[in-house]
C-alpha cells in the first residue's frame, strides 16, 4: 500500500488550490496548472493542506492514491518555485543557440537541428554548450529536455553528445592493438 498517499501536501503562501468536482486547479506566481483527479480518489482542501483518500480499496486505487499526491505536490512546487533541467553538449563543434522561439542545435550532423520551444518553457544557452530549460510544469520541462538529449545521446566510447549536467556516462574501453 502506498505510503506517499498518506502524507498531505502543504500549500505554501501565494499558492491557491481549488477543487471543482474532479478538477483540481493550482495557481501561483509562475502560472496555473489543472488536473482531473481519478474516480477512485477523493481530494480535500483544508486550510493550507491537500489530503487524499481512497474511495475503493483495490490495487488500482492504491497506485492512483500515491500518484495523485505526487502529481499535486509537483504542481504546487512548480507554480511556486519552478523546475530546471541543465544539459551539456560535449564534442568538437557541438553548439546551440536560440533563434526566436526555436533552439538551434549543431551536433555533428550535416544540418542543424531546430526544435520548437513550448510556450510555457524558457530556454537559455550559456557558453554555446550549456542548455538550461526552466518552467513550472515538471512533465513539460522533463519531456523537452529528453527531446533535446535525443538529438545526439552521449556515446560510450568518447562521451560525445548531449547529456544532463548531472548525468554520469559509463565509458567503455576501445579496441586494443
Reduce the secondary structure of 143-177 to three states and give it as a string. HHHHHHHHHCCCCCCCCCEEEECCCCCCCCCCCCC
| Whether 165 contacts 86, CB under 8 Å | yes
Kindly indicate the confidence band of residue 2, based on its pLDDT and cuts at 50, 70 and 90. Answer: low
- C-alpha–C-alpha distance, residues 48 and 8, integer Å: 10
Place of cell 523546475: 83
This prediction's pTM = 0.90
Query: Could you give the domains of the chain?
Result: 9-80 (3.90.930.12), 83-164 (3.90.930.12)
Other beta carbons less than 10 A from residue 136's beta carbon: 24
| Whether 43 contacts 52, CB under 8 Å | yes
| Whether 116 contacts 74, CB under 8 Å | no
Higher pLDDT, 84 or 6: 84
pLDDT of 1 over the 70 cut: no
Per-residue pLDDT reduced to its tens digit, 75-124: 999 999 999 999 999 999 999 999 999 999 999 999 999 999 999 999 99
The pLDDT > 90 percentage for the chain reads 86
The pLDDT > 70 percentage for the chain reads 99
Amino acid at each position: 500500500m502506498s505510503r506517499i498517499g498518506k502524507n498531505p501536501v502543504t500549500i505554501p503562501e501565494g499558492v491557491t488550490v481549488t477543487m471543482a468536482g474532479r478538477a483540481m486547479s493550482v495557481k501561483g506566481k509562475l502560472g496555473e496548472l489543472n488536473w482531473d483527479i481519478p474516480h477512485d480518489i477523493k481530494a480535500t482542501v483544508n486550510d493550507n493542506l491537500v489530503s487524499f483518500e481512497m474511495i475503493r480499496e483495490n490495487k488500482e486505487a492504491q497506485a492512483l492514491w500515491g500518484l495523485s499526491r505526487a502529481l499535486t505536490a509537483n504542481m504546487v512546487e512548480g507554480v511556486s518555485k519552478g523546475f530546471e533541467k541543465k544539459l551539456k553538449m560535449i564534442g568538437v563543434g557541438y553548439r546551440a543557440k536560440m533563434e526566436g522561439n526555436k533552439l538551434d542545435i549543431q551536433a555533428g550532423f550535416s544540418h542543424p537541428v531546430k526544435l520548437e520551444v513550448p510556450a510555457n518553457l524558457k530556454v537559455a544557452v550559456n557558453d554555446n554548450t550549456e542548455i538550461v530549460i526552466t518552467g513550472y510544469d515538471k512533465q513539460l520541462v522533463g519531456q523537452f529536455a529528453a527531446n533535446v538529449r535525443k538529438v545526439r545521446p552521449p556515446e560510450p566510447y568518447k562521451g560525445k553528445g548531449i547529456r544532463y549536467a548531472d548525468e554520469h556516462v559509463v565509458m567503455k574501453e576501445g579496441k586494443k592493438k
